[in-house]
Structure 1
Amino acid sequence: MTTSGDPAEPESQAAAPAAADSVPTPRVFVRNRRTISWIWLVPLVVALVGLSLVINRWIHIGPIITISFQSAEGIQVGQTTVRYRDVVVGTVDDIKVSPDHSRALVQVRLKRDAASYVARKGTRFWVVRPRLELTGVSGLNTLLSGAYIGVDISRTKEGGAAGSRTYRFTGLEKPPEIASDKPGTRYTLTAPDLGSLELGSPVYYRRIQVGRVVDYGLSPDGKEVDIQVFVDAPNDKYVTDDSRFWNISGIQMSLGADGVAVSTGSIASIISGGVEFASADESDTTPAKANTVFHLKLTRQTAMAEPDGVPIPVNFEFRDSVRGLKVGAPVLFHGLEIGNVMNVDLEYNPKIKRFYVLVRADLYPMRFGKIYRELVAENAHSGNAGHSLLGPLVTHGLRAQLRTGNLLTGQQYVALAFFPNAPAAHFDETQKPAMIPTVPGDLDRLQEQLGSVLTKLDSIPYAGISHDLRATLRALTNTLAGLRGVGPETETTLRAVRQSLDRADALLGSRSTGGNLAQTLRELQQAAESLRALADNLRANPSALLRGHPADRLPGR
């Protein structure tokens, strides 16, 4: 047997016919083959798996966003997740400190399908952790699962994600009070101070909660507090341009003619404060626009009162003590509040070299009623109706006076009243603020009167009066002693008088004596008439007493 490559192959081919009758010899062809070991499949499989992982990661993961927080408390790399509606949309990839070392920068790897609606302007992030506040408890589910980052997405009216793409955000330190996609309307309330209101304080309409306080802060000029409230739909339709808001925080007490009135809200409003609103004009059903500004009043009474219009600033100069007069004290006219004290300052007059107290107040002329509206119509061109109202009143004796409103607390108020005997005063209608003259308070007058009385009492000679009083008492004592000795004699005298009266009574009771007595009385009456005639004659002719009665003249002589 030879191979196909043997040089003796021609000889075997030549001898083939001779061996035709012998057994045929098989022909075998050998080919050289190169085989691959199965071990080389392992890296191939690993490469394919790695490629699939890379492709899968490239398909499913999204971009990295950076969220700035004041602190990274509770956040862990690779464990803390980012959730929207409790669905994981990303994971914390890294945590580092900001370049100025003031904040913590949390880098979050978003999922690719979530990046389109999360990484946009207007999206809000906050750390969800257990919180205990006056308005309630939140985040208890994180006690076991750990903290996570919550997401609130700003949406358009059509429901799509609002805002352009961005990858840097500033996180909130507290969860937002209202979600961006929650239906409702936001309004602004202005107040002198925040009072007892807090984030989440309820907003009521007819004692039913319809919203909450979502934000607050100082106004741009720093003189007021701007409070943002959110009223849920569809209850926001009850907020109109004529709506009035007032504070119902805590327990309100008032003392009136009917006694003590106590008003309380719900337990939530007592603990965390609250706001209530109503419409003065029930016929107005047009809802107010978003971000409409309303004034927050202290009580329902002041909120539902008629509009006061633009106040008139006035000044008062008081020479007496203003202890007990506080900012906000009322200015009363005939017992009705027409203004409030805005400021109390100590001033100095260099001309007379004396100090005085300058009280600034705001008067609300609309509270004067019809007369002010008529003056407004007459002075429409000048806009000086308020000063035109005060001028004639001052001329007729209108003055300001400090009076005590509460004897227990000593609080004072400013009363406007007419004093006909007050000294004349000039009122300048062009001066702003207007200066209203004042008179001393009742307390000062009482002190002056008491001082005068004490001065008179001090001038009384008590020593001389005491000496005379002692002498009088001694004389009275002697007189009483003498009366004790006269007592028995007086009793004897009274007995004799009684006997005499009894005899006279018996004498007058007899008939003979009675007749004689009547005749005697007639004679006495005649004698009296004669004496009266004599007296008249002497009055007419006094010389008759010396010359006698003249003789009658004969007729014809």
Structure 2
Amino acid sequence: MSNSNKQIESMRKVRFNSIWLVPLIAILVASWMLYQNWSSQGPVITLIASNADGLEAGKTKLKSRNVDVGRVIDIQLSDDYENAIIQVRMNNGTQQMLRDDTQFWVVKPRVGRAGVSGLGTLLSGVYINMKPGEKGELKTDFAILNQPPLSTENDGVRLILSSKEGSKLEIGALVHFRGYEVGYIEKVGFDAKKREITYQVVVRSPYDALVSSNTQFWITSGLAFKSSASGFEVRLDSLETLFSGGITFDSPAGQSTGQVIDDMSTFRLYPSKESADNNVYKDFINYVFLFDTNVSGLIAGAAVEYRGVRIGTVLDVPFNGISAEALSSLDAPYIPVRARIEPQRLNGLGTSDAISLERWHQLLGDRIDKGLRASLKIGNYVNAAKIINIDFIDNPSPVTLSKLENYSLFPTAAGGFDDIQSKVVEILDNVSQLPLSNTFEQLGRTMEEANETLRQLQAVSKSVKQLLDKSETQQLPADLSATINELNLTLETYQANGQIGRPLRENMVSLGRALNELQPLLRQLRENPNTLIFDSAPRLDIQPKAAK
């Protein structure tokens, strides 16, 4: 065989060597796996969020009904640095879920209308949830919701509630009727002109039939602590309202059901049930009460009572509607308080035989002429809460002023405690005006005269004893001698160590000591007679001076 034939034969053996099949098969398998991976992947969608808190590229999952349907592959800032751009690779076969009404939101621990949710993410991590769309065209760009979407499964009525008081409630907070969940807050806004927080709430069907024109709404804070003239009150609602708050509604007791309301009707949202109850009464008479005593403990919302029956509500303490010039023209420094008399508390709500406001004006004017007066009264001695008490008094002073700057005045009188205080002060003033100094000086002179008399009696007793010891006296008749002896015994009892002289002397010494101890008290009473009732200012300790 020639050399050329041998070379051709060797080249054929190298070309068809089986070892080259291994990398060829590996390339074919890798290509097939790449094709399978590419064919099994779904589209890449873009999610826009205000922030990417808790999200991580390559780790955060996208779920729908707790099934993995994608994964976050990239997170970047937008060109204007205002938002986070999140790229998500969807699984194959999920293209039909990406429509105009598809919704995305981040699942993390939160407190909402469904209670405490997302606690599982404490271990598994934050993920993105998806509500598949059903309407509209296919799309790949979406905005992530700040809150989970609210359910719109049930029909109902939508209402607008306006609040000037209380704290802001969040979207999704519950709406209750007598503790039963019937709706939720759908939107929250703020009216800058009226300075009111507005809530759009949904009351689901069939509970929307409970809402009428007479319905009242108020905020339930979950935990409420109240201190008033009635005492202390602690109220605890459900755990959901304890964390997120809520709204409760009901119709006032004793009032008619009211008329059927339309969708998007407007109601006022009160800060508490007590505030809602106090605003049920639409007919009232406003009065201004002028008090010349301490009004501490009287607050807005306190009761106005007649012999223990509530007939009104305090509105402003103090009332600033009267000018300082008008107040300075009065004969005393009065503090104005505005309150209203609510006749419907006595008439009843919606009764046909109710007395008109004009007739109530006449009745109150007639009773004022007969001695009806208002005074401050302590309703609760634990917290010193006060109320306005209206009652008849004996020998009332005549009413000299019925109006002040177009405000009707209700005449006032001193209350029971104030009357006692004024009498005690009057007694102390009378005591301070007594001539106590002259009395004690005269008592001191009397004690000196008593001491002098005792000394004189002691001298007489000594002289009589000396007389009896003389021989001439002993020669006197027996009767005279006995009389002198009895006189001597009598005088000895008045001496310093006698049966009468010793107690008398001790009493005089004790009286003198007591008078000396009373001198600081008498001096303090002269300077400040009220120290018998009120504590005097504590004396400060003498501060040592530093060495120079």
Return the TM-score normalized by structure 1: 0.54
Structure whose CA Rg is larger: 1
Which secondary structure does the structure 1 equivalent of 2:97 belong to? helix
Q: In structure 2, how many angstroms separate the alpha carbons of the residues matched to 1:162 and 1:373?
A: 61
Distance 1:78 1:299, change over 3 A: closer
Which secondary structure does the structure 1 equivalent of 2:431 belong to? helix
Quick one: which of 48, 52, 58 aligns to 1:67? 48
Q: In structure 1, how many angstroms separate the alpha carbons of the residues matched to 2:36 and 2:437?
A: 124
Distance 1:79 1:407, change over 3 A: closer
1:348 to 2:348 alignment? no
Q: In structure 1, how many angstroms separate the alpha carbons of the residues matched to 2:132 and 2:360?
A: 53
Quick one: which of 398, 412, 423 aligns to 1:449? 423
Q: In structure 1, how many angstroms separate the alpha carbons of the residues matched to 2:392 and 2:341?
A: 17
Residue 324 of structure 1: aligned partner: 297
Alignment of 1:260-275 (within 5 A): 265-266=237-238
- Per the TM alignment, residue 459 of structure 1 is displaced from its structure 2 partner at its CA by 2.0
Quick one: which of 299, 309, 334 aligns to 2:282? 309
Return the TM-score normalized by structure 2: 0.55
Residue 337 of structure 2: aligned partner: 359
Distance 1:308 1:389, change over 3 A: farther
Deviations 1:257-302, CA, capped at 9 Å, x for gaps: 9x99986545555666555544458995987655444555677677
Q: In structure 2, how many angstroms separate the alpha carbons of the residues matched to 1:163 and 1:408?
A: 69
- Per the TM alignment, residue 358 of structure 1 is displaced from its structure 2 partner at its CA by 3.8
Which secondary structure does the structure 1 equivalent of 2:399 belong to? coil
Distance 1:265 1:423, change over 3 A: same
Structure 1's unaligned 5+ residue stretches are: 1-45, 155-159, 379-384, 486-557
Q: In structure 2, how many angstroms separate the alpha carbons of the residues matched to 1:214 and 1:291?
A: 12
Q: CA RMSD in A?
A: 5.7
Q: In structure 1, how many angstroms separate the alpha carbons of the residues matched to 2:166 and 2:337?
A: 26
Which secondary structure does the structure 2 equivalent of 1:118 belong to? coil
- Per the TM alignment, residue 166 of structure 1 is displaced from its structure 2 partner at its CA by 11
Residue 403 of structure 1: aligned partner: 377
- Per the TM alignment, residue 244 of structure 1 is displaced from its structure 2 partner at its CA by 4.5
Distance 1:292 1:106, change over 3 A: farther
Q: In structure 2, how many angstroms separate the alpha carbons of the residues matched to 1:66 and 1:270?
A: 34
Distance 1:235 1:337, change over 3 A: same
Quick one: which of 118, 125, 149 aligns to 1:139? 118
Structure 2's unaligned 5+ residue stretches are: 1-29, 455-486, 491-548
Contact 2:190 2:198 in 1 (8 A): yes
Q: In structure 2, how many angstroms separate the alpha carbons of the residues matched to 1:437 and 1:219?
A: 38
The alignment-based identity, stated in percent, is 26
Deviations 1:70-98, CA, capped at 9 Å, x for gaps: x2122234654544444667665653334
Q: Which amino acid aligns with 1:330?
A: A
Paired residues in the alignment total 412
- Per the TM alignment, residue 349 of structure 1 is displaced from its structure 2 partner at its CA by 2.6
- Per the TM alignment, residue 175 of structure 1 is displaced from its structure 2 partner at its CA by 3.1
Distance 1:352 1:325, change over 3 A: same
Deviations 1:376-405, CA, capped at 9 Å, x for gaps: 5x7xxxxxx887776666666655443333
**Which gives a bigger RCO, structure 1 or 2 (Cα 8 Å, sep 6+)?**
2
Contact 1:345 1:358 in 2 (8 A): yes
Q: Which amino acid aligns with 2:380?
A: N
Report the more deviating stretch, 385-394 or 140-149: 385-394
- Per the TM alignment, residue 322 of structure 1 is displaced from its structure 2 partner at its CA by 2.5
Deviations 1:85-127, CA, capped at 9 Å, x for gaps: 44667665653334554443445677642333436xxx5x421
Distance 1:305 1:193, change over 3 A: closer
- Per the TM alignment, residue 140 of structure 1 is displaced from its structure 2 partner at its CA by 3.9
Contact 1:375 1:389 in 2 (8 A): no
Distance 1:145 1:240, change over 3 A: same
Q: In structure 1, how many angstroms separate the alpha carbons of the residues matched to 2:239 and 2:99?
A: 44
Q: Which amino acid aligns with 1:74?
A: G
Q: Which amino acid aligns with 1:349?
A: E
- Per the TM alignment, residue 367 of structure 1 is displaced from its structure 2 partner at its CA by 3.5
Residue 180 of structure 1: aligned partner: 152
Contact 2:155 2:205 in 1 (8 A): yes
Residue 127 of structure 1: aligned partner: 106
Quick one: which of 98, 105, 118 aligns to 1:115? 98
Q: In structure 2, how many angstroms separate the alpha carbons of the residues matched to 1:408 and 1:206?
A: 32
Residue 150 of structure 1: aligned partner: 129
Contact 1:94 1:106 in 2 (8 A): yes
Deviations 1:132-185, CA, capped at 9 Å, x for gaps: 78985422444565433234589xxxxx6499999564630x435x32345555
Q: In structure 2, how many angstroms separate the alpha carbons of the residues matched to 1:241 and 1:312?
A: 24
Distance 1:343 1:161, change over 3 A: farther
Quick one: which of 66, 72, 76 aligns to 1:96? 76
Distance 1:72 1:309, change over 3 A: same
Residue 369 of structure 1: aligned partner: 347
Report the more deviating stretch, 261-270 or 326-335: 261-270
Deviations 1:158-214, CA, capped at 9 Å, x for gaps: xx6499999564630x435x3234555554555554469776665544544444566
Residue 462 of structure 1: aligned partner: 436
Which secondary structure does the structure 2 equivalent of 1:349 belong to? helix
Residue 426 of structure 1: aligned partner: 402
Contact 2:288 2:338 in 1 (8 A): yes
Q: In structure 2, how many angstroms separate the alpha carbons of the residues matched to 1:438 and 1:161?
A: 71
Q: Which amino acid aligns with 2:152?
A: S
Which secondary structure does the structure 2 equivalent of 1:458 belong to? helix
- Per the TM alignment, residue 327 of structure 1 is displaced from its structure 2 partner at its CA by 3.0
Q: In structure 1, how many angstroms separate the alpha carbons of the residues matched to 2:339 and 2:256?
A: 35
